[in-house]
Amino acid sequence: MSFFHQLFTAFRGMASEAGETIIDTQAIRILEQEVRDAKKNLDEAKESLAQVIAKQIGIEREIKRLKKTIAEYEEYAIQSLNKGNEVLANEIAEKVADLENELAVQVSVLESYQVSVNTLKQNIRHTELHIKSMEREISVVKTTESVQKANVAAANKFSGSNSALRSATDSLERIKQKQQQKADQLQAAMQLQQQDSGSDLHEKLKQAGLVSEPISAQTVLARLKAKQVEKTNVRF
């Protein structure tokens, strides 16, 4: 394979990919246009169906008229035969024959209309189902595209070391560290103050049972109540 042929093949492949990208980008618009075209065709099919049904009704009415007319002329022919007027009966018979031939034509036309009506109804039903399917597909495509765009936007916004969220998170972590450092400094200062004032040593002596707590009013009141109870018990 020559170099120029390879180069031409590469360019053709790039053009094909570019064309597919354009088509994919316009996919939703293409689908929506197809739905609009399908709905237009559906409206035209429904209009044609209405016209055919109207003609079918007219043919059915004509068939009923012909059958009624044939029955009337047959009765006339019978009456003519009963009166012995065979010439008139033959003329009436010719009329009946013409009517029956016309009836046969109308019945054939009616059958053709019935086939057309059934076919149009099937096509309309198929088109309606096709449109509903396409509309569902478009809805899914639009929803998926919206979700993907939201995901991409979120990823672009909240990813990377320079993103606003990352910066805010880092700032929050630094604030927490500073607050913890201040808390540790305050605790250390309080410990040093306790050591300087001797309160820390006093607390240790108290826990060891080597020093007692100062007498409080509650202690005195409890002692007096105990003495009162003791005197009462001795008296009795």
Contact indicator for 148, 48 with CB cutoff of 8 Å = no
Q: Give the whole-angstrom CA distance, residue 116 versus residue 54.
A: 12
C-alpha separations of 76 from 71, 84, 98, 103 in Å: 9, 12, 15, 19
- Averaged confidence pLDDT in the chain: 79
Across the range 50-76, mean pLDDT stands at: 93
Where are the domains positioned within the chain? 9-151, 173-212
> 204-216 b/e with 16+ CB inside 10 Å = b?
eeeeeeeeeeeee
* AA letter at 204: K
Q: When comparing pLDDT for 200 and 183, which is higher?
A: 183
Class of domain 9-151: mainly alpha
Residue 104 has, within 13 A of its CA and on its CB side, a CA count of 5
Contact indicator for 92, 77 with CB cutoff of 8 Å = yes
pLDDT tens readout for residues 121-171:
999 999 899 889 888 888 887 888 788 888 877 766 665 555 566 676 777
Q: When comparing pLDDT for 159 and 73, which is higher?
A: 73
Residue 228: the pLDDT is 77
Neighbouring residues of 160: CB distance < 8 A, sequence distance ≥ 6: 166
Q: Give the whole-angstrom CA distance, residue 117 versus residue 54.
A: 11
- With cut-offs at 50, 70 and 90, classify the pLDDT of residue 206: low
